[in-house]
Amino acid sequence: MRRRQFCRNTFAASFAAAFPLLTACERSQPETIAEATAPADTGIAAISLDGANIELEKAAVNELGAELNGTLMLAGHPKYDETRKIWNGMHDKRPALIAQCANPQDVQAAVTFARQQELLLAVRGGGHSWPGKSVCDGGMMLDLSQMYRVNVDTDAQIAHAQGGAWLNHLDSATLPHGLVTTGGVVSHTGIGGFTLGGGFGRLNRKYGLAVDNLVSAQIVTADGKLRTISAEEEPDLFWAIRGGGGNFGVVTRFDYQLHPFNREVLSGMIMWPVDQASEVLHFYADWHAGLSDELYVGPIMVTLPDGGGSFVGMEVVYNGDPAVGEAEMAPLRAIGTPADDGIKMQDYMVMQTQEDASFGHGVRSYIKNGMVQSFTRELADAVIETFVPDPRLAFFTHTAGGATTRVGELDTAFPHRNAETMIMVGGGWIDPADDEWAMSTARAWFAELQPFTGGYYDNIHYDREQAAGNYGPAQPRLEQIKGVYDPGNLFRLNNNIIPA
Ligand SMILES: Cc1cc2nc3c(=O)[nH]c(=O)nc-3n(C[C@H](O)[C@H](O)[C@H](O)COP(=O)(O)OP(=O)(O)OC[C@H]3O[C@@H](n4cnc5c(N)ncnc54)[C@H](O)[C@@H]3O)c2cc1C
């Protein structure tokens, strides 16, 4: 009984089981621009686009500070250290300047300054880049954290979200109107990087990826121009940003298609002790292919801290009539003897925020992933055989399929339309002394699973060793569009596409 209660408490936040050490690291988003820009009194040592040491003239820096409605921060500014920090505690970098933008005109000024000065430029949306691409040493961090507002046009069923919004700003604005779009599983993730790279979430089988719901956008390109783009206006650029990451400019506004949605959803996590992993994952391998678009089921394998044991789990969300959902998921719930079955009717926002604390800001984290066409019994066996029973590491999945696979391979720049599932190996820890063990163990673990994969999802990847070829047949067009809109490769701190 005590064991069952323990599990219930621990699994209440579902993926809390997977990143159990990290609940103390939460950080809130700054709410206002509180501090005025302090003028530079000397030239500023900086790093150029190609890595050379340069000095920025103080007059030019002060001119930029005066032009911004937001704040220009130099080292020593009271908010400099707070602002330069991003989610992954592995990246402790010190930009020469932080341009905290308040509106699109600020973004235009900051981009123009960086281009004219040939200054290394990092663009920070929500700051969740695993490899730390949204901050840099010696360059400019263009910070969008104050541009987080979302307006919902209920008639047109479109959400207009500023480029620095988080997923919870988007959900919080749309759900009260009975509307939703695909968002990811941790609500403090930025919509910026999330959307530009693809955007997987619990509703993607029904509504597609975030890029599939993007109907238009406003973007500041390297020439400093603010452009409104869509399938009708500058369609090449609009195609490229739907999967091509931050390569093409700074998106100041995303416009998403919304869908009528009942926010009470049958959802939750089922967990089984690890000795039932073979029965559970084999069942999943045989069962998942025929599931409806309404049903999202994602397998995980995790270990609780303090000797709490290892578990195989399924995260389940049914986006539709609960009675139909009950029937469809019944075979899964009948498998083995679960340690806990937490599936119940609950507010979608509970699901969308339940992992926030577990993936708290400041955690040290590493992750690798690969796209798989089918979660087979052979893959299940490999996952079980290679499983590392340590609370610092876990096996996760994002389930795709459904609407995500019905979009043509070259309709957007997102390259992995034939994948049913994304598999991930990674984790989080606090102590820097764990870095080497955790990273080398995760790499070795993933190497055993990699033969089952084809390409990877750039947004959930720490290393870039596979970058060449990951865009498949979209690569030449991306290079050509990059050559048109960013010939000098100003936007290079991303999964970089070299301009044609
Ligand atoms: C805890 C956690 C949970 C996650 N869950 C999911 C998930 O459920 N589904 C999923 O698909 N992904 C998920 N991801 C991956 C996520 O999509 C990427 O990390 C994404 O890059 C985060 O976007 P961001 O704006 O927060 O990142 P940032 O670090 O700010 O930026 C990442 C990259 O995008 C660029 N960028 C950001 N905003 C803009 C903008 N407005 N204009 C131009 N370029 C911009 C940056 O320059 C950088 O290259 C998760 C990541 C984390 C850390």
Tell me the CA–centroid distance for residue 128 and ligand 1, in Å.
5
Tell me the CA–centroid distance for residue 124 and ligand 1, in Å.
9
pLDDT of residue 39: 65
Tell me the CA–centroid distance for residue 351 and ligand 1, in Å.
19
User: Counting atoms of ligand 1 from 1, which one is nearest the CA of 129?
Assistant: 29
User: Counting atoms of ligand 1 from 1, which one is nearest the CA of 166?
Assistant: 26
Please, are residues 488 and 222 in contact by the beta-carbon 8 Å criterion?
A: yes
Tell me the CA–centroid distance for residue 330 and ligand 1, in Å.
35
User: Counting atoms of ligand 1 from 1, which one is nearest the CA of 164?
Assistant: 41
Query: What is the distance between the terminal CA atoms of the chain, rounded to a whole angstrom?
Result: 64
Instruction: Give the type of residue at 54.
Output: I
pTM across the whole model: 0.93
User: Counting atoms of ligand 1 from 1, which one is nearest the CA of 86?
Assistant: 29
User: Counting atoms of ligand 1 from 1, which one is nearest the CA of 191?
Assistant: 25
Beta strands in 276-392 (DSSP E): 295-303, 310-318, 340-341, 344-347, 364-372
Instruction: List the chain pLDDT tens, one digit each, 500 residues.
Output: 333 333 333 444 444 444 433 333 334 444 333 355 666 677 899 999 999 999 999 999 999 999 999 999 999 999 999 999 999 999 999 999 999 999 999 999 999 999 999 999 999 999 999 999 999 999 999 999 999 999 999 999 999 999 999 999 999 999 999 999 999 999 999 999 999 999 999 999 999 999 999 999 999 999 999 999 999 999 999 999 999 999 999 999 999 999 999 999 999 999 999 999 999 999 999 999 999 999 999 999 999 999 999 999 999 999 999 999 999 999 999 999 999 999 999 999 998 999 998 899 999 999 999 999 999 999 999 999 999 999 999 999 999 999 999 999 999 999 999 999 999 999 999 999 999 999 999 999 999 999 999 999 999 999 875 566 899 999 999 999 999 999 999 999 999 999 99
Tell me the CA–centroid distance for residue 8 and ligand 1, in Å.
31
pLDDT of residue 16: 45
Give the distance from CA 495 to its chain's centroid. 14
- How many other β-carbons are positioned within 10 Å of the β-carbon of residue 167? 29
Beta strands in 94-165 (DSSP E): 97-100, 121-124, 140-143, 150-153, 158-162
pLDDT of residue 15: 43
| Torsion over CA: 84, 256, 404, 229 (sign) | negative
pLDDT of residue 452: 97
Residue to probe by mutation, ligand 1, list 111, 143, 189, 369, most atoms within 8 Å of CB: 189
User: Counting atoms of ligand 1 from 1, which one is nearest the CA of 185?
Assistant: 8
Residue to probe by mutation, ligand 1, list 85, 106, 128, most atoms within 8 Å of CB: 128
Ligand 1: residues within 6 Å at CB? 86-87, 123-130, 133-134, 144, 163, 184-186, 189-190, 192-194, 196-201, 245-246, 250-251, 359, 459-460, 493-494
User: Counting atoms of ligand 1 from 1, which one is nearest the CA of 252?
Assistant: 41
For 262-296, b/e burial (b = at least 16 CB within 10 A) is: ebebbbbbbbbbbebbbebbbbbbeebeebebbbb
pLDDT of residue 407: 97
User: Counting atoms of ligand 1 from 1, which one is nearest the CA of 123?
Assistant: 47
Residue to probe by mutation, ligand 1, list 120, 123, 367, most atoms within 8 Å of CB: 123
Pairing of strands 140-143, 97-100: parallel
Pairing of strands 310-318, 264-273: antiparallel
pLDDT of residue 130: 97
Protein residue whose Cα sits closest to atom 3 of ligand 1: 186
DSSP codes joined into one string, 152-169: EETTTTEEEEETT-BHHH
Protein residue whose Cα sits closest to atom 39 of ligand 1: 192
Structural domains of the chain, with CATH? 2-23+263-460 (3.40.462.20), 30-143 (3.30.43.10), 150-261 (3.30.465.10)
Protein residue whose Cα sits closest to atom 47 of ligand 1: 123
Tell me the CA–centroid distance for residue 184 and ligand 1, in Å.
10
Protein residue whose Cα sits closest to atom 17 of ligand 1: 194
In angstroms, the CA 376 to CA 299 distance is 12
pLDDT of residue 358: 86
416 closest CA partner among 461, 458, 479, 357: 458
For 45-68, b/e burial (b = at least 16 CB within 10 A) is: ebbebeeeebebeeeebbebbebb
pLDDT of residue 63: 97
Give the distance from CA 206 to its chain's centroid. 19
